[in-house]
Amino acid sequence: MQWFPVQFLSELPLDHYVVLTCSHTLWLVLLSYLIAVFGSHITLTIAKQASRTANTIMKRVWTVLGAICLAGGIWTMHFIGMLAFKAPVSIHYDLSVTLFSFLVALTASLIAMHYMTMQAPRMLQQILAAVLIGVGISAMHYSGMTAMQSVAKTYHHPGLFALSILVAISASYAALKLAEYFRDGEKRNVTWLKYSAAMVMGAAICSMHYTGMSGLYLVVPDNTPLQLRSADNSVQLGLIIASITFLILSLSLAAAWASRKLEEKEQDLQRVNILLHQLDQAQASLEQIAHFDPLTEQLNRRGFNRVFNAAIEEHTISGRNLAVMFLDVDHFKRVNDTLGHDAGDELLRIVAQRIRSSLRERDIVSRLGGDEFCIVTSIDSDDALLPLANRILEKMKEPINLGERKMVMTTSIGISRFPQDGVTVEELIKHADLALYQAKADGRNTIHVFKQHLTEKASIELQLEEDLRQALQLDKDLKLYYQPIIDLSSGEVTRLEALIRWQHPRLGLLTPERFIGIAEANGFVELLDKWVMQQACKDLAIMLDQGYRNTKIAVNCSAINLTHNLLSESISDALQGNNLLAERLEIEVTESTLLSNIRCVKNQLESIKRQGVSIALDDFGTGYSSLTYLRRLPLDVLKIDRSFIKEITESPQDREIVRAIISMAHALNMKTVAEGVETNAQLSLLVELSCDQVQGYLFSKPQPMEEIHARFPPKRPVLESAYAKF
């Protein structure tokens, strides 16, 4: 039976017999196994290298190189195994058929490398590939055996023939699985494990060859001279082929190792580049955090100072002028207090966008903190300043939607110029801030350009702050003046309004308008109010001892102090410390104080009222007068502002307003006090309108306590002459 190029042994010819004395050279068998192991090791290494290479061309190059190494290893193992074969006849090998067998091995190896480098091949694909590769290796083996030239004819045992093909397929499948195993995961790069796998793979390849060889039969004619021998020059040929193969495989292994090292270095370089890129990103993020405000995305104070310094250096060289605009949002605190801080943040974002849209791209915008913004812009002349500032003011007046409310906000702007008003960042910002302060003092929603006198004014304010602190600490130079309040029904002094004065060592006697704002701005108005309360109670205790039995003291309370929880306790301490009844004290608050925080103020006033202290509303009519808070708050007295009394005799409108206020107060069970009474005509009209009490220069200016004692003795009616006329 014959299956080209393989013949199977069925029965011997009559003139032939079977040669039974064939054998193998042991060291060549061992050499063939070592070549199979070496080739397997290189194939696994190159397969892993090819699978990890991202470059398509290099991947193909490695695949071809791996196929050549695998084919060379298998073919060399086969050829040396054939050289190891010893038969009692002369054997030669046909070169063309031998080379053809190598091409068959190369084809099978290309298929093997293709599947070895595939990412996650399916089981069916691996089985099909193993079959193709195993059949290819078997074809290489049996085509290589047909290259044997001898007087003997070759026959094969059918069972061992089939077993050799099955071994070839199994070896191929094992090779694919080993390649997949070593391709996945870095920790599978253990050297001894890879060598062990190569030895197993080499043994599987050799098993196929020697299984096939064990089923080989040589049949020679009768009378053929026999002598057990190897192929001619088998030792030299085997060593030469093995050496060349080892050299080629070693070079391939070295190339794979060098390529892997180069790739690892390239990967390390890529990782370094990635780290450098991440570092650049982190540095950019830190730069953003360090120099930009996260809320408005504008420069913060640190970033602004750096950019501003660079702008000053540039304009110093070029000789051009700079303008610095310092601005903030008028009454911004009301937004936070009424709508919450989230609405305040949204407002600041909108303000920053509007400022940015009003300027040129090269102009500098910064949020310095809170609602304070600073702008730096190049100008050719001062004539360009006001149009730019007015453009910002008008932009700010556009309605803003915050939640469900539409609001119109305004801003105040202070301006300083480089180099006229300063040559450093600190000077220019300080002078722009002083100009902003003046703009707010001028009524807000306006612009003020820095003038030198503002520095002098600020210096005086600073000195006054230090002097006022010292006066409070040493309890000197502060005095209380009193203005009497006359009851129109009895004509007597029923209350004295305590008014603080400061006898400054250099500036003379200062009224509250000159220094109360300094105390409020610098956080010690509470100490000032506490001093007034204590001193007024001391003076009242002295007056009671001198016979002023029905007299009260009225003390003004600042808006800031009224929102503090300690006010009620401070009043209680002052009364108890001077053994006074609470009914002897009256607290005066203004309408603007009530509007600042109506809920907190209401709680404070109720706490004070529970002590027995009466409460008066000062300057009524000048603010946002509301019947709501008159009804809700525990008020005892309404003080009609002097602006209505001044023209009461000539203006019917003022007269009717005063009449309405008095009627409303009486309807709410409150007494009325008319401030600023300076003429008998005003007094007569107020009596006619049923006003309860009056105070003003007609009776007395604010005087020290000694003058009050002299001019207004106890139990002496002040209005006796007036009553005689009525």
Strongest mean pLDDT among 90-94, 95-99, 304-308:
304-308
Q: Rounded to whole angstroms, how far apart are CA atoms 76 and 252? A: 15
> Which has the closest alpha carbon to 375: 445, 304, 437?
304
Asked whether residue 367 carries a pLDDT value surpassing 50, the answer given is yes
Residue 204 or 408, more confident:
408
Mean pLDDT, residues 324-338 taken together:
84
Q: Which two tokens stand for residue 480?
A: 């209380």
Res. 596: pLDDT tops 70: no
User: Where does the pLDDT of residue 549 fall: very low under 50, low under 70, confident under 90, or very high at 90 and above?
Assistant: confident
pLDDT in tens, 493-513: 888 999 999 998 888 898 888
Task: Please report how many Cα atoms fall inside a 13 Å half-sphere around the Cα of residue 46, on the Cβ side.
Answer: 33
Q: How confident is the model at residue 82 (pLDDT cuts 50, 70, 90)?
A: confident
b or e along 535-548 (b: 16 or more beta carbons within 10 Å of the residue's beta carbon)?
Answer: bbbbbbbebbeeeb
Highest mean pLDDT among 186-195, 222-231, 508-517, 608-617: 608-617
Please tell me the chain's helix, strand, coil percentages from 3-state DSSP, rounded to the nearest 5: 60, 15, 25
Average pLDDT of 211-239? 60
Helix (H) or strand (E) holding 211: helix 191-214
Per-residue pLDDT at 553? 92
Structure tokens at 486: 């006359």
Query: When comparing pLDDT for 392 and 267, which is higher?
Result: 392
Highest mean pLDDT among 33-42, 110-119, 158-167: 158-167
* Residue among 208, 178, 176 nearest 194 (CA): 178
Lowest mean pLDDT segment, chosen from 322-336, 660-674, 676-690:
322-336
How close are the terminal C-alpha atoms of the chain, in Å? 158
DSSP calls for 565-623: TTHHHHHHHHHHHTT--GGGEEEEEEHHHHHH-HHHHHHHHHHHHHHT-EEEEEEETSS
Residue 230 scores a pLDDT above 50: no
Q: Which of 43-52, 160-169, 430-439, 667-676 has the lowest mean pLDDT?
A: 43-52
Binning pLDDT at 50, 70 and 90, where does residue 681 land?
very high
Whether the predicted pLDDT of 374 surpasses 50: yes
C-beta separation of 431 from 316 below 8 A = no
Under 8 Å CB-to-CB from 453, ≥6 apart: which residues? none
pLDDT at residue 18, rounded to an integer: 58
The Cα–Cα gap between 133 and 169 comes to 7
The more confident residue out of 247 and 652 is 652
Q: Report which DSSP code applies to 505.
A: T
* pTM to 2 decimal places: 0.52
pLDDT at residue 263 greater than cutoff 70: no
**Span 623-629, mean pLDDT?**
61
Q: Which residue has the higher pLDDT, 93 or 706?
A: 706
Instruction: Using pLDDT thresholds of 50, 70 and 90, give the confidence band for residue 120.
Output: low
Instruction: Band the pLDDT of 47: cuts 50, 70, 90.
Output: low
Q: How confident is the model at residue 145 (pLDDT cuts 50, 70, 90)?
A: confident
Which comes out higher in pLDDT, residue 636 or 235? 636
The tens digit of pLDDT for each residue in 146-181 reads 767 777 777 777 777 788 778 777 776 776 676 666
Contact 215, 166 (CB under 8 A): no
pLDDT exceeds 70 at position 433: yes
d(CA 532, CA 525): 11
Assign 223 a pLDDT band (cuts: 50, 70, 90).
low
Per-residue pLDDT at 527 exceeds 90 = no
CA-CA distance, 485 to 487, in Å (whole number)?
7
Count CB atoms within 10 A of the CB of residue 686.
Answer: 22
Mean pLDDT of the chain: 78
d(CA 316, CA 423): 9
Q: Omega of the bond prior to 484 within 30 degrees of 0, cis?
A: no
Q: Is the pLDDT of residue 16 over 60?
A: no
Is residue 716 pLDDT above 70, yes or no? no
Q: How far is CA 554 from the centre of its chain?
A: 54
Q: How confident is the model at residue 12 (pLDDT cuts 50, 70, 90)?
A: low
pLDDT > 70 fraction of the chain, expressed in percent and rounded: 73
